[in-house]
A and B are shown apart, each in its own frame.
Chain A
């Protein structure tokens, strides 16, 4: 069973460009979470999705950021008009339909650098 897959692993964008980050959850997992790790900061929750639904986006910046998890294909985190402050590691995690412990399995991350 393949783990959570993220691509690209490294992404360089110039200020003002768009960044698209992809996440394929583990097989059988229907819940996807995105987290951001800023330099010198911890991991912060951004958004929680199930297939075709955004369940909780309370951690997403109000502007320029969006996420989706379509019926077919990977989950996408999209950042429009990137700024230097968006440089960070973005991690996706997935979990199965809810069990007792809510453990999540993480991908290797996408490291975004904005120049």
Chain B
């Protein structure tokens, strides 16, 4: 069945370091792919998305490229800030089941000044 595997955390970085959070998926067809971010005590916010192969989603300095050949959607940022500290979730919708989202296990990022 469809699934998402995400790099385990927690990840601790210093401010201005580079970030990569790995995400791979198994899916029927070519679904859209999403990254959501959850700040402490809050709900999930859509960070970025890609709707087809080779699409690059980007937002707030974060980027992720939909790679069909490696079934991956890794999240990257060149220079993290303390305010990026949060939990990041990779997700894909199951089209033939009403679009419900399958999430990776989440990666907690902590950025130190």
Contacts and interface: CB of A to CB of B under 8 A. Distances in A.
A102 B94 CA distance: 9
Contact of B103 (A43, A55, A102, A105): A43
A62 interface: no
A100 B32 contact: yes
A102 B43 contact: no
Nearest to B92: A102
Given A42-B106, A100-B32, A100-B51, A105 B100 contact: no
A43 to B, nearest CB: 4
A108 interface: yes
Interface residues of B, number: 24
Interface in B63-111: 89, 93, 95, 97-106
Contacts, number: 67
Contacts of A104: 46, 93, 99, 101
Interface string B1-39: 000000000000000000000000000000110101000
For the complex of A and B, the 9 pairs showing the least CB-CB separation, nearest first, are A102-B93, A102-B99, A106-B44, A106-B43, A108-B43, A101-B32, A42-B105, A43-B103, A45-B100
B101 A45 contact: yes
Contacts of B31: 102
Interface in A89-105: 91, 93, 95, 98, 100-105
A31 interface: yes
